[in-house]
Structure 1
């Protein structure tokens, strides 16, 4: 050791190691900035490692300093300052060290090269991959308090990859649900039917962000690509772009240059980005409380960076879901929410005109305001900019449905489910759509899978209740509605799912036990045969609401079935001009247009009656032509044929309606079918309905006796 110190070998060793570390750091940084051969890093390391024994050998004989290189004297040279040459023996030793080190270096470099060639051999298969799911990143922070960053980063990369053409990118929501269930990456990829999955981890220490990503094949679980990033937090958007670009280049066998695949969620304010990600974390929870908190966080993000387009979209999206209406949280008046959301979307598009999420939100605002054509145009813009934006497909499905463009809506809904198969609302809507198409076995499978995936959700039982109701199985519908009610006792919508079948069965005593809502008073009076009280009640309602056609319609309908026919005709027709066509021809009943047509026909206004009948016929045929199988459509067909005097066709259509689940108790009282009353076939069909309702009435009563 004293000789090593005298010859300053340790000093030379430390200097060499320091220089080598610096060189390796430079190579690492350059590798994350420019495209380099995967052999550069290992080759540099082996070259430096090979040089270490040579440096040690030379430093034993020579002193390296800023003043130059000088020969280190041997111990026996202290009394003789004359330096002798190294001699052949020492030169031989040097050559031996160089050869051995070089041999080992070349040997290991060859092994690494062979390993890289094996990986490269698998790339032709990988390059054909056309689908991917980005899994939620793992929070690797010491305090485990950066889940918002881990989930947010995965969500942003999903959005970025979704912009690539001919590339299926599964929605981050479905990936997150499966990850929370404990499935491995390969299992998740197989479940989502994608060829590859991208997983990773993230941690931020101070302003330093560390991200590690790994691309895996879903069928084998084989690692196809991995990379580490260590940057300032402000460079997170550059990391997102690099990851997205590398994945697309690899899987689609193309080259996307740096800077041409940038994220649209950029902000120069790190705090604004953190607020946005925390807002998204709250948004994903989809509760009233979390949506309020999400709104607050998005507002903070906008305040920190007024140019942050993605934060404006998040704020608008939150306001939309806080509005009144079906499948929304009902905290803000619809018109107010729409006005505020529109202002924020306009600001977002002014700053980022190519943001698909902004157009999707803009389309939903139009949908909220019943401007369905404008909504579809915006959804199409969103899909053009991001062909994998699942929410745009789902919202477009709703708009197409509202326009009765059923065939188109089915295609769009299938695409939405393909991209986001575990989105609760999306899957539920698809099950409902399959129900209306008569594909009941498929719908049942979907709703039962929903119960497995979301055991605390009522949607599975609501969907099954709808199926049973559509089949005329009111007992089954009540059973499922009761299960849903146990899961959500305060949900008043579920009360109707119980009361609806009870009304069909005429179980008035049970209805009275279940609700005191005056909405059901008229129905109760009918089943109790208290018609005079019913008519007095409706006369009062009509007088109190002279400009409300719907009250006049209800009063007229009761009169038509159980009271004064002439009074019914006046009530049904007198104010019918104050409602627009959308409400007048409401499908699948085409009501109240078809009842108005009957009244006008009875009053002798045959031309106007025929106009309404023809319009209802057109709408009915359009829906039946789109494979929709509402039993109401077949019953509508029976009413139309009856009004036209085509008895045989009317009875045949009624038989089809009953075969498909029609069990309405009031069928035998329907004034539109009075022309069939004396027909034996009609009487047989009515008797079948009565007998089936009587049977179910006993079974249903037993459910409430337990």
Structure 2
């Protein structure tokens, strides 16, 4: 037997060292091919996974699996060789039959191809797909972002929502509550611009860089963190980072008993103040949500109730009230919980209830407010809340304005307090004074849609309808899924003379929330103003089918009967109205159609005596029904002097005033207040005095 014939073929080829053998067997090429293929596949999964609902951890586990598989792949490349007869163990292949050299050339081409695909995917991800839906970078590159950041004040901060790491999604209210109260605490720092919750919370789980978020919110610094609550223990981490480069200015972890949550909030606020070299407005950061007893259970019930109320349905409001009532049972001295409960009961009573039930809940709301005021008489929150009660329930705009001024004096940096005062200025007939406050508040919470809507109302009062339109559309852009925003735009379009657009917006709002009775009712008013009386009546009946005690529904039906000249139906429907103020107006209007002039005159005078000062436009409608245009125009002038928003929104389409559209005085009045002219007349020649004064 010749030497070597009985030895394994591999032994005769084992020369030149281990590294040379790796090269000969194409193990190195196989390793490069594996790594390149894994890289390319990981890039593809990361880019295409979200489109198919793949969770974020999918790519991570793929890479881990590839790392585990890599040594097995290397072993496979060492022990096996591809031959024309198929896959064989390398030791079984004779030297003359080995095709490792030609296989290596093929592997080179595969490596080049895989690496080319990986590079293409990397470039695509970097320059095309990297920016997500909330990013500002899809409109500007990094240089533009840096330019935006250069404009913002150094002493400015946004608190992003702290991550809930408890493992229970239902606990998110707690981490959100801590973040929100930290925002409130930071507004007490002098000379610090603090972005409000609505805007900063829009970046929850955002993949944007700190620079992109800072540019979008107009701040130089961001506070981020996480909260983990397990039983009676609490772990909170917080960091203050520079938006421009993401570097940390301060960071701290707190492992404390749950009872220390309020102390942690204050410590974070003080740390931010120290890091930014800002002094406190007072001696301490006040925890307005902290129960005096320190009862954390009461605090958690308050947070749950507040979160529940933000869903804006009757059921949610009722559940929120139940939670807040439990909070004040645990701590009867809990002023903030009493105030929050009063606020929710006010909204529930005025928006969803009628009759005796409405009066009961509003009486409870007043009692809760007075309890809060007794416990915290110098609270900005309490003064702001009292302002709303005086405005919406007591029809006392002067008193509401005085309370709102007190609230802002106590919390001068709080955006919500600015909006409360601006809204009360608007309601008191001072929309021009309200605009700077609205703009300042919006600068503190630039992505909050409802504030744009309120500012739009002030602009409508001033006759600046193009600017109002823009504000309402901005509100709709920020909150496109809120049907009330579509309805508010519909009402504005009526005032602006866009009847077609108004009808479309109203129908869209109803389609978005077909089970909301107030939606049907608002749509009915828009349809009535656009001359579609039959469809309007049908919409009101749909609303009543959903809620037989819906405020304004019977007053609307009474108004429709007046349009048809049906005095009996108008009087009957007016008598069924459950809102006392609306009922008084509806009865007075219905009584103007009857043949008994003494009754009509008495009803007119009684209404003027009680409501004339607050509702001049309704008095003008009464004179319109009586066919007394001179007096009607006198009361319209009073409404203009008070910037009556109801008049500004309804004058264009009000059916009761249509008989006077051709009166030269009506044209002159519309020009004076800056309203578009009926029949598509040239509004460019209107030269509205009110608008010019703005």
Shared fold per TM-score greater than 0.5? yes
Aligned twin of 2:381: 357
| Structure 2 residue corresponding to 1:199, chosen from 224, 234, 253 | 224
Q: Equivalent of 2:302, from 276, 292, 303?
A: 276
Give the 5 Å matches for 1:570-581. Answer: 572-581=600-609
Range with greater deviation from structure 2 (153-162 or 344-353): 344-353
Give the match for residue 400 of structure 1: 425
Contact residue 569 and residue 599 of structure 1 kept, 8 A: no
8 Å Cα contact 1:461-1:484 kept in structure 2 = yes
Q: Highest CA radius of gyration, 1 or 2?
A: 1
Q: Secondary structure at the match of 1:225?
A: strand
**2:312 match:** 286
Q: 1:308 aligns with which of 322, 334, 337?
A: 334
Within 5 A, what are the aligned runs for 1:28-107? Answer: none
Contact (CA 8 Å) 1:249, 1:256: kept in 2 or not?
no
TM-score by length of structure 2 reads: 0.62
**Of residues 645, 668, 674 in structure 2, which corresponds to 1:653?**
668
Question: Which 5+ residue runs of structure 2 have no aligned equivalent?
Answer: 1-149, 545-553, 683-694
SS in 2 for 1:285: coil
2:210–2:244: 8 Å Cα contact kept in structure 1?
Answer: no
Equivalent residue for 1:76?
Answer: none
Query: Matches of 1:617 and 1:569 in 2, distance apart?
Result: 26
Q: 2:487 aligns with which of 423, 441, 462?
A: 462
CA contact (8 A) 1:597 1:613 kept: no
Q: Does 1:132 align with 2:157?
A: yes
Where in structure 1 are there 5+ consecutive unaligned residues?
1-124, 560-566, 603-608, 664-684, 690-706
Pair 623,432 (structure 1): closer, same or farther in 2 beyond 3 Å:
closer
CA 1:217–1:335 in 2, change beyond 3 Å: closer, same or farther?
farther
| Residues 14-67 of structure 1: CA deviation (Å, up to 9, x unaligned) | xxxxxxxxxxxxxxxxxxxxxxxxxxxxxxxxxxxxxxxxxxxxxxxxxxxxxx
Work out which of the residue numbers 226, 239, 252 in structure 2 matches 1:227.
252
Among 452, 460, 466, the alignment partner of 1:427 is: 452
Distance 1:392 1:208 in 2: 34
Q: Show the counterpart of 2:171.
A: 146
Aligned residues: 512
Deviation at residue 201 of structure 1 after TM alignment: 0.8
Contact 2:341 2:368 in 1 (8 A): yes
| Aligned mates of 1:318, 1:297 — CA distance in 2 | 11
Deviations 1:64-113 (A, max 9, x none): xxxxxxxxxxxxxxxxxxxxxxxxxxxxxxxxxxxxxxxxxxxxxxxxxx
Q: Secondary structure at the match of 2:226?
A: strand
Matched residue SS, 1:228: strand
Q: Does 1:554 align with 2:554?
A: no
What is the aligned partner in structure 2 of residue 589 from structure 1?
Answer: 617
In the other structure, the counterpart of 1:325 is 350
CA RMSD of aligned residues (A): 4.6
Aligned to 2:365: 341
- Would the aligned equivalents of 1:138 and 1:202 in 2 still touch at CA under 8 Å? yes
1:620 maps to 2:629: no
Shift, 1:509, TM fit: 5.7
Distance 1:462 1:555, change over 3 A: closer
Give the match for residue 486 of structure 1. 511
Could you tell me whether the CA contact under 8 Å between 1:549 and 1:578 is conserved in 2?
Answer: no
**TM-score w.r.t. length of structure 1:** 0.61
Query: Given that residues 309 and 348 in structure 1 are in contact (C-alpha distance below 8 angstroms), is that contact kept between their aligned partners in structure 2?
Result: yes
Hey, what's the Cα distance between the residues in 2 that align with 1:199 and 1:248?
Answer: 15
The CA deviation at 1:181 is: 6.5
Distance 2:611 2:438 in 1: 25
Change in Cα spacing, 1:158 to 1:362, as seen in structure 2 (3 Å) is same
Contact 1:313 1:345 in 2 (8 A): yes
